[in-house]
C-alpha cells in the first residue's frame, strides 16, 4: 500500500504520496499541490526540496557518507583512477579491463583541440579569469564538434570528447596566459599524468612525472567527480531541462562553480592563508576572530553546508596532502600556516562542539598549491573533476521519463495593481 501524508488546509484534508529512496530517505510528492490546493511551497535555496530522482550519488551529511553508484568514496579513492570513476558515474557500472582500455584510447584520440581554438584563447585579455575563459570555450566546442546523434556510440564519444578536450583546454589556457609554448598531449601518458605534463613541461626544462603526484591528482579529481544536487549540478540540470546541447549545459555548470561559495572555496582558502601571513602569520588571532560572532572574518575551508560531521573526502585529501608536502623541495610559508591552523582548530572546543572540521576545500587548496597549480586555476581544476558528474547528471535528466522543463514558482511581494501615471503628472 502506497504511503501518504495528510495535509490540512482551511479545514480541507489532502493526501500526498510519499516517495522512498533506496537508502530510506523520504520525500513528499507535491507535484499536484498547487493544482489541488492553490498553494505552493516556499524554500529559499531549495534545502528541503527534491528536484529529481537520481541513481548516481548518495550522500548522508549527518553520517559523513558519500557513495558513487553505491561504491564508498573511500574505496574508490584507494583503488580506482579518475578515468575508471568517470566511467562508473557515466555508465552505472565499473568497466571491464577491455572497456577501460577502450576508454583510454578514446580519451587519447580526442585529446587534441582544433588549432583555430588557440586564436580564441589568445583573444581574451590577459587578466581574464580562467573560469570565464573555460566556460566560453566549452560553449565554443559546439561549433567545432557537432552534437551527438541518437546512437549510443556517438553519445559516449561526445562525453569522452568533453572529458578529454576540457583537460587539454585548461592546460592550453594556462600556457597561453603565461606566453609559453603550448604542450600537446602525449599518447604514452595517463589522463592525469598528461595534464601535469601539459601544464609544466617546457622545451628548456622537461617535466619529470612523479607517480605520487599523479596519484594525488587522481584522488583530487575522484573526490570532486560528483556531489549530488549542488549549485553547479543543479544549474546543469536546469539549463539542460530546456533541451539545450550538452556543451551549453556544461558551460552553465562551470559558470555556477565559479563562485566563492561553491567551487572557489579552495582558492579562498589560499587567499585566507595569504592574509594571515600578511599579519605576521598569527594563527591564534585568526582563530579568535573566527570565534567572534560580531567579526565578519570566517575561516575558509572549515565546516560544510551538508556535512554535519567530518567531511569524508577531507580525511582522504589530508593523507594526500601529507604526501604532496613531503615531496616539496622547499618550504612554503602558506602551507606552514595551514598546518598550524589545522592543529589549533582541531584542538579548540569551539570548533569541535560546532563540528567545524577542515573540509575537502581546506586540504585540496593545499594539495593543488603543492602540485604547482596557480591559485587562479584552482576552480578550473575543480571543474575538470566535476565534469563526469555533470555529464552523468545531464544524461540522467534527459532520459528521465518524468522530465519537465524547470520552472520554479515564487511568492510575489511587490505592488498590487495600480494605474499608470503620465510622466507630466508625476
Full DSSP string of 162-226: HHHHHHHHHHHHHHHHTTPPPPPP-TTS-HHHHHHHHHH--SSSPPPP-HHHHHHHHHHHHHTS-
Decide: helix, strand or coil at residue 64.
Answer: coil
Compute CA distances 77 → 85, 190, 404, whole Å.
9, 17, 35
Fold of 57-400: Citrate Synthase; domain 1 (1.10.580)
Strand partners, 68: 57, 71
pLDDT at 147: 60
Name 321's Cβ contacts closer than 8 Å, sequence gap at least 6.
363, 366, 367, 370
Tell me if 242 sits within 8 A of 249, measured CB to CB.
no
pLDDT at 148: 55
Name 8's Cβ contacts closer than 8 Å, sequence gap at least 6.
14
The per-residue pLDDT of the chain, averaged, comes to 90
Tell me if 64 sits within 8 A of 307, measured CB to CB.
yes
- Dump pLDDT digits (tens) for 14-40: 999 999 999 999 999 999 999 999 999
Tell me 325's DSSP state: H
Q: Which residues are catalytic?
A: 304, 361
Fold of 4-50: Rubrerythrin, domain 2 (2.20.28)
Give the Cα separation of 53 and 88 in Å (integer).
18
Give the Cα separation of 338 and 111 in Å (integer).
36
Q: Is 306 exposed, middle or buried (0-12, 13-18, 19+ CB in 10 A)?
A: middle
Q: How many residues are present in the chain?
A: 426
Instruction: Write down the domain spans for the chain.
Output: 4-50, 57-400
pLDDT along the chain (426 residues), means of 10: 88 94 93 93 92 95 93 97 97 96 93 87 86 92 71 73 94 89 94 97 94 96 96 96 93 93 86 89 88 87 79 89 81 82 85 83 88 93 97 94 92 96 95
Compute CA distances 170 → 92, 140, 377, 421, whole Å.
27, 14, 8, 54
Sheet of 57-60: strands edge to edge?
57-60, 65-68, 71-72
Tell me if 57 sits within 8 A of 306, measured CB to CB.
no
Three cell numbers written together for 186: 602525449
pLDDT at 153: 57
Sheet of 12-20: strands edge to edge?
4-9, 12-20, 26-28
Strand partners, 305: none
Decide: helix, strand or coil at residue 23.
Answer: coil
The reported pTM is 0.91
Three cell numbers written together for 398: 534527459
Tell me if 357 sits within 8 A of 302, measured CB to CB.
yes
Within this chain, domains 4-50 and 57-400 share the same CATH topology:
no
Share of the chain above pLDDT 70, in %: 97
* Of residues 425, 407, 416, 285, the one with CA closest to residue 34: 407
pLDDT at 66: 96
pLDDT at 1: 62
Name 114's Cβ contacts closer than 8 Å, sequence gap at least 6.
144
Give the Cα separation of 288 and 272 in Å (integer).
15
pLDDT at 120: 86
Tell me if 303 sits within 8 A of 356, measured CB to CB.
yes
Amino acid at each position: 500500500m502506497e504511503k501518504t501524508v495528510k495535509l490540512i488546509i482551511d479545514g480541507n484534508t489532502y493526501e500526498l504520496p510519499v516517495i522512498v529512496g533506496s537508502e530510506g530517505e523520504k520525500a513528499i510528492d507535491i507535484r499536484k499541490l498547487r493544482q489541488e490546493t492553490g498553494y505552493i511551497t516556499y524554500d529559499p535555496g531549495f534545502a528541503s526540496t527534491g528536484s529529481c530522482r537520481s541513481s548516481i550519488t548518495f550522500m548522508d551529511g549527518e553520517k559523513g557518507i558519500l557513495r558513487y553508484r553505491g561504491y564508498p568514496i573511500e574505496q574508490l579513492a584507494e583503488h580506482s583512477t579518475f578515468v575508471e570513476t568517470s566511467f562508473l558515474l557515466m555508465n552505472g557500472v565499473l568497466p571491464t579491463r577491455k572497456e577501460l582500455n577502450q576508454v583510454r584510447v578514446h580519451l587519447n584520440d580526442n585529446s587534441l583541440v582544433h588549432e583555430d581554438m588557440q586564436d580564441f584563447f589568445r583573444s581574451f585579455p590577459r587578466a581574464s579569469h580562467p573560469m570565464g575563459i573555460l566556460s566560453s570555450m566549452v560553449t565554443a566546442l559546439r561549433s567545432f564538434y557537432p552534437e551527438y546523434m541518437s546512437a549510443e556510440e556517438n553519445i559516449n564519444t561526445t562525453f569522452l570528447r568533453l572529458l578529454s578536450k576540457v583537460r587539454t583546454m585548461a592546460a592550453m589556457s594556462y600556457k597561453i596566459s603565461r606566453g609559453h609554448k603550448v604542450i600537446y598531449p602525449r599518447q604514452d601518458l595517463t589522463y592525469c599524468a598528461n595534464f601535469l605534463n601539459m601544464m609544466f613541461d617546457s622545451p628548456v626544462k622537461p617535466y619529470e612525472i612523479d607517480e605520487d603526484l599523479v596519484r594525488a591528482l587522481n584522488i583530487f579529481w575522484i573526490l570532486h567527480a560528483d556531489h549530488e544536487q549542488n549549485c553547479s549540478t543543479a544549474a546543469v540540470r536546469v539549463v539542460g531541462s530546456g533541451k539545450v546541447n550538452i556543451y551549453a549545459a556544461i558551460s552553465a555548470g562551470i559558470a555556477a562553480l565559479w563562485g566563492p561559495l561553491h567551487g572557489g572555496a579552495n582558492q579562498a582558502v589560499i587567499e585566507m592563508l595569504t592574509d594571515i601571513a600578511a599579519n605576521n602569520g598569527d594563527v591564534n588571532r585568526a582563530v579568535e576572530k573566527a570565534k567572534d560572532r560580531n567579526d565578519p572574518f570566517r575561516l575558509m575551508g572549515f565546516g560544510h553546508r551538508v556535512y554535519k560531521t567530518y567531511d569524508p573526502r577531507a580525511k582522504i585529501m589530508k593523507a594526500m596532502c601529507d604526501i604532496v608536502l613531503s615531496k616539496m623541495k622547499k618550504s612554503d610559508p602558506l602551507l606552514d600556516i595551514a598546518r598550524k591552523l589545522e592543529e589549533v582548530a582541531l584542538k579548540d572546543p569551539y570548533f569541535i562542539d560546532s563540528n567545524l572540521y577542515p573540509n575537502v576545500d581546506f586540504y585540496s587548496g593545499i594539495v593543488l598549491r603543492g602540485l604547482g597549480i596557480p591559485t587562479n586555476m584552482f576552480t578550473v581544476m575543480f571543474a575538470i573533476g566535476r565534469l563526469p558528474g555533470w555529464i552523468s547528471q545531464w544524461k540522467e535528466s534527459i532520459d528521465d521519463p518524468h522530465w519537465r522543463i524547470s520552472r520554479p514558482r515564487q511568492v510575489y511581494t511587490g505592488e498590487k495593481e495600480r494605474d499608470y501615471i503620465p510622466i507630466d503628472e508625476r
